[in-house]
Structure 1
């Protein structure tokens, strides 16, 4: 009789452990399905972003004559808006002949059989990426938004607008200020008069694209500081303590890209970067005050 009772108890325990293991397995499978569901949602967000970029790339490819002559080759043309404004300022404030740029002394060449075809493809894709960047941010925001609490949603509600605006301003600043000044400086920099500048189209496009996109990404600094401050990684105290190092770095960058050593050109390049850094400090300080206030209310 005792043996039968022990057997029943052991059977019940085995049944319970089996049921519990099945439940645990079901929970793990549910979690795995949830993870894969998130991957599927992310995949469709990325697919829609890629489609938008492809559409803009196709439009750029279709209107490539205008894009190449007026946009890509703009900083090479002495009649470019930046150079005309510099000549106008030179005449008005008597800044000297070096400030007025009337010639970009180098020739554009192609050395590859398929160079011009790949140039059209690469530059069209670059234009498509720039134009589709705001939509890419929108799709990323749509993916992240459901996982945020109401307070986080409210505080980050303007993320797409401000990130897109800063990116566009940075692209314009890089294209109209940094790219032409850098191209003029590099074109006029000579080691010897016997060396003639024959620049390949790939090198020229790479320089313009790097400087323009680099400025667009750099102008995202306030958004990066916003995210890092939200995560508690960046603090206003740290940014204020490193301000002097940031000033030196900004001045070095401005000195490299400006064609002449005059103070006006350096200020033109460095002032927006100074403003970005100070705006980033204010954003970090505002988030830090809100965090301390929430902690005070909690305790």
Structure 2
């Protein structure tokens, strides 16, 4: 009797499992794939991408070409300065439209530096984006720098993530003594060469601000132990003590007194919004990010947008006071 009851339970469980699987399969197969809703939607997406590349309305003109008696194709004519990456714009348009079933074949004319990108849907080319190089336009790029602050020895995954960005982003390591910096530099040799050091006390406070006498002694020791080291100069521009202290050495510094400081506790939305301050017209040219898996993931999401907006990441400028 017990054996028969057990078999019934097993059959019931199998039946429930089949019903759940069938329901999931029905839902997945019944869900229509994403597709282009209208040509007006395509126009909106094109306009969005052009804005994200900081292409002004003055650089854009439109015309139409009659294909037959019932259809005319709209053509966007975009004037671009020399040095602008047409390939990157093409890649972004392809990424945007591919999910909607729209292909974006392109033809390049090297003689007149033009690229024509066709938007094709169900065998019909319905839009063309013609990119022209205008020698009278000047390509303005905003230069900015990013530093990733690491509170402990960086693991391989973090260093690999930074390397895959392909950008000149140094790490800054907190140290209390130049001998510690020397050991860290030896340990990281061949793994990551863009290294800065930040003199801090045991409470992770900036040593140059909280204990100037000890900080000056450490800086003098740096001149003997690691004279080629590059150190971070933090604090406020209104307090010249750190700058005066740095001027009493022959060491090289990165001036971060007016840097933008970002960390995970901002939350993703605020973190990404703050990075917009590196764009044109904003007041910051250097951001220091507390580095971990989360913040580097957010940074990786934001970098393409910054580059599209014309931000060029450069190594943070170094100075000898």
* TM-score strictly above 0.5: no
Give TM-score, length-normalised by structure 2. Answer: 0.25
**Higher-helix-fraction structure:** 1
Q: Greater relative contact order (Cα 8 A, min sep 6): structure 1 or 2?
A: 1
Give TM-score, length-normalised by structure 1. Answer: 0.26
